[in-house]
Amino acid sequence: MRLHALLALGLAAAPATGAAGVPRVLADLPAVHSLVARVMAGVGTPGLLLDAGADPHDFQLRPSTARALAAADLVFWVGPDLTPGLAHALAGGGAGGARRAVALATVAGVTGRPPAALGEGTDPHLWLDPANARRWTLAIAATLARADGANATRYGSNAAAAAGEIDALAAELTRTLAPAGATPIVVLHDAYGHFAAAFGLTVAAAIMAADGAAPGARHLARTRARVAALGPVCVFPEVGQDRRLARAVIEGTAARLGPPLDPEGAALAPGPELYPRLMRGLAEAIAACAGGG
Ligand SMILES: [Zn+2]
């Protein structure tokens, strides 16, 4: 059923084609797909590699995805820190010699940051800083313009409009989150370094690491002690993830359960509107709990 719905929307993994000469384009996850779809509006529709609701950290290459990759002219993806499974597939080559993959983590000016709570390694959830999404939009348009000169003007004007929309979105979310800024928050997985840096939030603890790996008993005990010491903070579960971990961390403390966050857009309908919905959803959920609402 889900596959049929995706096919009807033209969003299944096979890269959709527009008019003759328009490149077949794939994006790795919903947020990237949303930005690419915005840039391609009026020209073509990108395909989405990740299954609806799937966890990018556990990206698995299925035969149909492998065929879609081999048939694609262009692939936009975040990079190996987010989807090691896709990195492996792209490095493996196989069919599709004409394929070109653009790792958006390497776009000039994109800021790398460590995870906000645990601090070790890198936080691959780069799209949660609107400044990165803005840079990506312009880089996506430049790449598409090189691959498809006939539509270069359209890609450029779409990207310029999208950059303005992202600026307006960032200003709106800054206002939404202003009352929450001083209150530490606790999150399920350590995915909010870029969001916190962009909007002045403090992530005091994360139940799981940035790659979503299951926590060990020692880390859970440490997180619980930290939450108990923080007082009446909000602990945010995530869409599609078991709430028992968040509940276990809260038990016997003054913390409360916030609304579930969806940093990867797992529950949102793919398309150009997904990115602003994803960002607005995070801001409103955090403001509703941590802002004293
Ligand atoms: Zn994640």
Measured CA to CA, the distance from residue 269 to residue 278 in angstroms comes to 10
Higher confidence at residue 9 or residue 79?
A: 79
State in Å: Cα 204 to ligand 1 middle: 17
CA 42 to ligand 1 center in whole angstroms: 31
Q: What is the pLDDT of residue 96?
A: 40
CA of 141 to the centre of ligand 1 (A): 26
Residue 3 has pLDDT above 50, yes or no: no
What pLDDT does residue 237 have?
A: 97
Q: Are residues 129 and 212 in the same domain?
A: no
Q: Residue 5: pLDDT band by 50, 70, 90 thresholds? A: very low
Residue, of 184 and 88, whose pLDDT is higher? 184
Are 106 and 223 part of one and the same domain? no
Last residue of a domain, one of 146, 173, 200: 173
* pLDDT for res 19: 60
| Domain presence at residue 238 | yes
pLDDT tens digit string along 96-143?
433 689 999 999 999 899 999 998 899 999 999 999 999 999 999 999
Task: Tell me which residue range forms the domain holding 16.
Answer: 7-173
Structure tokens at 272: 């150009």
pLDDT band, residue 51 (cuts 50/70/90): confident
d(CA 149, ligand 1 centre) in Å: 35
Q: How far is the CA of 245 from the centre of ligand 1 (A)?
A: 16
Q: How far, in Å, is the centroid of ligand 1 from the Cα of 189?
A: 7
Residue 2 lies in a domain: no
Q: What's the CA-to-centroid distance between 210 and ligand 1, angstroms?
A: 6
pLDDT over threshold 50, residue 67: yes
Of 80-94, 150-164, 226-240, 279-293, which range is least confident?
80-94
Residue 275 maps to a domain: yes
Query: Three-state DSSP class for 186?
Result: strand
Same domain, 34 and 104: yes
Q: Tell how far the Cα of 86 is from the centroid of ligand 1, in angstroms.
A: 14
CA of 192 to the centre of ligand 1 (A): 9
| Same-domain check for residues 39 and 55 | yes
In angstroms, what is the span from residue 95 Cα to ligand 1's centroid?
29
Q: Note whether residue 146 is domain-resident.
A: yes
Kindly report each contact of residues 196-200 with a partner whose C-beta sits within 8 Å and lies 24 or more positions away, as own/partner.
196/116, 197/111, 197/113, 197/116, 197/129, 198/128, 198/129, 198/130, 198/131, 198/170, 199/173, 199/174, 199/283
How far apart are the CA of 97 and the centre of ligand 1, in A?
A: 30
Tell me the CATH number at 206: 3.40.50.1980
CA–centroid distance, 213 to ligand 1, in Å, is: 10
In a domain, 80, yes or no: yes
Task: Say if residue 190's pLDDT is above 60.
Answer: yes
Ligand 1 center to 140 CA (angstroms): 22
- Does 8 score more than 90 pLDDT? no
Total-model pTM: 0.91
pLDDT at residue 61 in the model: 84
Is residue 47 in some structural domain?
yes
Q: Are residues 33 and 165 in the same domain?
A: yes
Q: How far is the CA of 187 from the centre of ligand 1 (A)?
A: 11
Structure-token match 């403390």, residue found: 253
Same domain, 258 and 284: yes
Instruction: Pick 186 or 95 by higher pLDDT.
Output: 186
- 230 and 278 belong to one structural domain: yes
210 and 237 both lie in a single domain? yes
Among candidate residues 173, 192, 209, the one where a domain is terminated: 173
Q: How confident is the model at residue 9 (pLDDT cuts 50, 70, 90)?
A: very low
Alpha-carbon distances, residue 224 vs 102, 116, 253, 258 (angstroms): 40, 17, 8, 16
- Ligand 1 centroid to residue 188 C-alpha, Å: 10
Which range, of 32-46, 98-112, 198-212, 219-233, averages the lowest pLDDT? 98-112
> Same structural domain for residues 185 and 157?
no
Percent of the chain beyond pLDDT 70? 90
Q: From the CA of 212, how far away is ligand 1's center (Å)?
A: 6
The domain boundary residue, chosen from 173, 188, 204: 173
Q: What is the C-alpha separation between 192 and 204, in angstroms, rounded?
A: 11
**Per-residue pLDDT tens over the stretch 217-233:** 999 999 999 999 999 99
Gap from CA of 263 to ligand 1 centroid (Å): 7
CA of 142 to the centre of ligand 1 (A): 27
Q: Are 24 and 65 part of one and the same domain? A: yes
Using the mean position of ligand 1's atoms as its centre, give its distance from the Cα of residue 20 in Å.
36
Whether 255 is in a domain gets the answer yes
Q: Quick one: 207 and 73 in the same domain?
A: no
Domain count, the chain: 2
pLDDT range class, residue 54, cuts 50, 70, 90: confident
Is 1 within the bounds of a domain? no
Considering the domain architecture, whether residues 144 and 26 belong to the same structural domain is answered as: yes
